[in-house]
Chains A and B, each alone.
Chain A
């Protein structure tokens, strides 16, 4: 499955990732090489094989009770904001 500049622009937009025009050509080339390599999987017989999304054995930890607990990190968390307005994170105008 070929990947070209148009496809890279499309997936960059989906990933909300600005690419510099100068790096786009190189990115296309590198992704082509990687996708050519992973193409080998198309030849593997996976008929009747279930996908593995995660490998977990044993029992998961018990669910904790659904109770309110204090979490006093609001000021510490808000202090990290690039743009803060009181108790809010401020973002560029949306509408």
Chain B
């Protein structure tokens, strides 16, 4: 057996091939990842709940399945971490919130059913901002997660635990959810791939709802090909989510090797000229664009004139939907109950104590935006601006295969740096939110490193259901830039 397959640096693709062919057992691979995470997870605060016993049982079942001669799935024996807002039957699911403390869902999410069918090994529930509301994972009611590249910095959010788990080699694949950037931004901060699929590509059955017109489940991985495997494992229609679509077809991994020739990349000049884009990220962007051109792509300038209003639009639409979705947490059927007065006092106290400050703020903002007298001025107007933002993207994409954007204005910021200023935190989402409003697929890929040795991610935005094109471009980039292959010290030193 080759060391590269046994080690924690192995790709999901290599692990699955080795397990399928019998060159490695799922159990020994799982043990290696669990032993590594035993050392790193506590330092990083990656998980809210580890599933080590279940993982070993699942791995042994995969090995037994192979021994029986049955064919194995695409993620055979691959350790996978799951954001804590995705339901796994019988396993604590808190969404990083006190209000769901102790909750164990009586069912699996659609993506969990699909991962089990693919013979993946689930290793734990990752930390996140409460109900996926945040950009730093500091809004978790339990503990923050730290950036594997610098433990004094945030991993991004809201899916910070999943991004940190993949970057620190605790699992080759993890899943998160992306409502306004919650997969792409932590992927950029942690130096891994993060894909927000097209709205409708992945069923949200069993994903705890935040803003239903925006929520989408997406994978983290360390290679473009692993990202495609992880996408294929969960994409496609499901009768339990009426927004899911059969148009979400599996990515052909061979097509990812197609290179840049014949592709046109749109550069949204107006969005780049905005304030706040760090020079080192701009330099990385320019050098990536030049590299695409030198490898055969055609670059064109495009315009996204309404994108500058995307944050304002998002922070009306998302809280409005959240205020409605989070009405279900009332202390009656599961989780926390507080107060012993009448029913109304019980609701108010349970929700006041169970929700953290960011969630309370967004519920209030959303309730306000939907309330009588303000609905037309706020919510309805935001939905109209959303139409303009989407129109911008479809127009820009009419002459391009993909658009190249930054993911974040800066590299990872410090723990505690923005947590006291919610608006400053929101303004970081300027490059990720527009594609969410437009419903189009967007990929954050590792593109380089900044002066402090922190990862820089860039973003490719594509046509609806054209995830394959985005990963083809990222795969090409991977062949001439080694940004994706570098490991943070914690991944190599701790288990050396």
Contacts and interface: CB of A to CB of B under 8 A. Distances in A.
B200 A56 contact: yes
A92 B368 contact: no
Interface in B389-407: 390
B246 A57 contact: no
A52 B239 contact: no
Contacts, number: 195
A46 B388 contact: yes
How many interface residues does chain A have, given as a range? 35 or more
A38 to B, nearest CB: 4
Interface string A40-68: 11101010011111111111111110000
Given A1-B374, A38-B312, A61-B237, A49 B384 contact: yes
B347 A16 contact: yes
Contacts of A73: 106-107
Nearest to B464: A57
Interface of B is mostly: helix
A28 B465 CA distance: 42
Contacts of A27: 360-361, 364
Contacts of B247: 57-59
Contact of B384 (A1, A46, A54, A61): A46
A94 B342 contact: yes
Contact of A41 (B243, B312, B348): B312
Given A52-B386, A54-B213, A61-B237, A81 B334 contact: yes
B166 interface: no
B66 to A, nearest CB: 31
Contact of A51 (B246, B336, B365, B387): B387
Interface string A1-27: 101000110011011111110010001
Contacts of A83: 337
B185 interface: no
Contacts of A44: 306, 309, 381, 384-385, 388
Contacts of A41: 309, 312-313, 316, 378, 381-382, 385
A80 to B, nearest CB: 4
Contacts of A61: 237-239, 241-242, 244-246
A52 B199 contact: no
A86 interface: no
Nearest to B311: A37
B343 A94 contact: yes
A82 interface: yes
Nearest to B391: A49
Contacts of B390: 52, 55
The 9 tightest CB contacts between A and B, nearest first, are: A55-B439, A18-B352, A51-B383, A82-B337, A76-B106, A80-B334, A58-B247, A46-B384, A73-B106
Interface of A: 1, 3, 7-8, 11-12, 14-20, 23, 27, 30-31, 33-35, 37-38, 40-42, 44, 46, 49-64, 73, 76-77, 80-83, 89, 91-94
21 contacts: A11-B371, A15-B327, A17-B363, A30-B422, A31-B368, A37-B315, A37-B423, A41-B385, A44-B384, A55-B390, A57-B200, A58-B246, A58-B247, A59-B247, A60-B244, A80-B102, A80-B335, A82-B334, A82-B335, A82-B337, A89-B332
Interface of B: 90, 102-104, 106-107, 199-200, 212-213, 237-239, 241-247, 306, 309, 311-313, 315-316, 323, 327, 330-337, 340-349, 351-353, 355, 357, 360-361, 363-365, 367-368, 371, 374, 377-378, 380-388, 390, 422-423, 426, 437-439, 464-465
